Amino acid sequence: MKLVYSPASPFVRKVEVVLRETGQIDDVDLLPVKTTPVSTPVELQSANPLGKIPALIRGDGPAIYDSRVICQFLNDRAGGGLYPDASRWEVMTLEATADGILDAAVLMVYESRVRPPHMVYEDWVEAQWEKAARGVKAVNDRWMSHLTGPLNIGQIAIGCALGYLDFRHAGRNWRKGNDALDDWFAVFNARDSMKATQPSD
């Protein structure tokens, strides 16, 4: 299998953490690409016509995407137990919350990186941050009990989301007012799979 990826992508990082936690990292070759919302390399287009990463190229079927689909495929392939029956919907909602935080945080980056300076819409950037901040606050206030216990996809997704906020938006200080989540992340971020997948440009 081949994973079309970028080392800066938090969605790719989620897949890489799953690969490491389920013992499948050696089963996948990494295929690096550089992509933006206005530029999609051919090798990515062939794997995902939407031009988004990650995409997983399989030897026995068509490429699959996006990160949520890939993570479920890898979990099923390894019997990873990351989607426990007793809390499946809660865990998947946590993953969706993390992905929503990331969607907003990535759009903030693109607004200043892709648009010409005179076209950057600061109110829109702030509105995206408010979405991300509300998601973080909701996890801190309502979802901490689901971040305990055996490893699950919700924990991985939230860990990768918080790591991305540190990577791209450290000055926003997501930790303020979210002490429980800050404490949890300090422990989770020390996992070998998280240390091995630190984002980079």
pLDDT tens, position by position, 56-104: 999 888 999 999 999 999 999 999 999 999 999 999 999 999 999 999 9
| CATH number, domain with residue 33 | 3.40.30.10
Distance CA 164, CA 104 (A): 11
Q: Which pLDDT belongs to residue 129?
A: 98
Flag whether pLDDT at 22 surpasses 80.
Answer: yes
Residues 63 and 89 in one domain: no
Mean pLDDT of 13-34: 95
Question: Would you say 53 and 4 are in contact if contact means Cβ atoms under 8 Å apart?
Answer: yes
Domain residue limits at 117: 85-194
Which band of pLDDT confidence, cut at 50, 70 and 90, is reported for residue 40? confident
Of 78, 112, 139, the residue that ends a domain is 78
User: String of b and e for 135-167 (b: at least 16 CB within 10 Å)?
Assistant: bbeebbeebeebbeeebbbbbbbbbbbbbbbbb
Of 78, 110, 139, the residue that ends a domain is 78
pTM value > 0.85: yes
Q: Is the dihedral of CA 107, 111, 112, 114 positive or negative?
A: positive
| CATH number, domain with residue 109 | 1.20.1050.10
Expressed in percent and rounded to 5, the helix, strand and coil fractions of the chain are 60, 5, 30
